[in-house]
Amino acid sequence: MSSGVWDLALDSFLDYCRAEKGLSEATLQASDLDLKRLRHWSEENDLPGPGALHDAHLRLFLAKAAEDLVASSRARLMSTIRSFFRFLLAEGMAFSDPTATIAIPRKGRKLPVILSVDQVFRLIEGIDGSKPRDLRDRAILELLYGCGCRVSELCAVDVVDLDLNEEMLLLRGKGSKQRLVPVGQPAAEAVNKYIQQGRMPLLKEKLSPALFLNVRGGRLSRVSVWTILKKAARDAQLPADMSPHTLRHSYATHLLEGGADLRVVQELLGHADISTTEIYTHIDRQWLTEAWLEAHPRARG
């Protein structure tokens, strides 16, 4: 009996998240795992369905889950459960919200790793070969930094998404939201050179709408982009812990350092909430402090 109750509740909630909230598959999978964890604990404790859970039960469950989860995962778990019970309440599948008296734990905000402008230039300009893969890899790095796109967005780009005449790129972000971002001249030139000289040899007479291809003519994967970046970082003698997101962080920080408005950066990054973008203001303040310490005659004793 309890199995059917849980199946209906979980399936209904995930369908709602997919259709109404437009959540990405990665977010849906994380929510599914979180709720399965709750279901497993409930069934172990003879609670027949989500409607049988009270706030005291949830506190016990969260305390048990905290033994295996870091702070950010605990916050996500609680957020998922809260959304789940609010949905059940709205749909008449529950008569109360047991999360109402439980606070969501605050996540520690960790400042992202960024590169200096010189380091970014060294990274990109370290790829200067004329082979198809070299042209592709240079174009990838140019777009990651020049457009601030996520690696998943980059891999999803099709040739038709790029307008080199207008120097604009269409990106599909989280929840299938689309945005247009400008493409700088160096990035546009690198991508155009790749399309003209590198893409066809990689395509190998196959048909693919994808802009960036692997050596078999298929769409390039996120793992492959990571590998490309890691190699470029090693060749440029840059930190080994770099990721594609490092270039996105650097893009946002350098825009703010250059005087861009925070709202503009939010739109360019595709952040739904400006509070997500505000983390870069902390980095910007660090940069301002360092510049002041170096330049002001009364900054030091």
The question of whether 177 is a catalytic residue gets the answer no
The question of whether 271 is a catalytic residue gets the answer yes
3-state helix, strand, coil in the chain (%, to 5): 60, 5, 35
Residue-wise DSSP of 165-199: TTTEEEEE-GGG-EEEEE--HHHHHHHHHIIIIIH
The question of whether 150 is a catalytic residue gets the answer yes
Q: CA–CA separation, 113 vs 118, rounded Å?
A: 15
**Residue among 37, 76, 172, 248 flagged as catalytic:** 248
**Residue among 150, 172, 199, 254 flagged as catalytic:** 150
**Strand-pair partners of 179:** 171
Q: CA–CA separation, 196 vs 52, rounded Å?
A: 63
The question of whether 40 is a catalytic residue gets the answer no
What is the distance of C-alpha 179 from the center of its chain? 15
How many angstroms separate the Cα of 187 from the Cα of each of 6, 91, 146, 206? Answer: 50, 49, 6, 26
Angle at 224 between CA 159 and CA 155, to 5 degrees: 30
**Residue among 18, 82, 174, 222 flagged as catalytic:** 174
**Residue among 231, 245, 282, 285 flagged as catalytic:** 245
The question of whether 245 is a catalytic residue gets the answer yes
Q: Return phi, psi of residue 95, to 5°.
A: -105, -5
**Strand-pair partners of 181:** 169
The question of whether 16 is a catalytic residue gets the answer no
**Residue among 18, 86, 230, 271 flagged as catalytic:** 271
What is the distance of C-alpha 93 from the center of its chain? 33
Active site amino acids: 150, 174, 245, 248, 271, 280
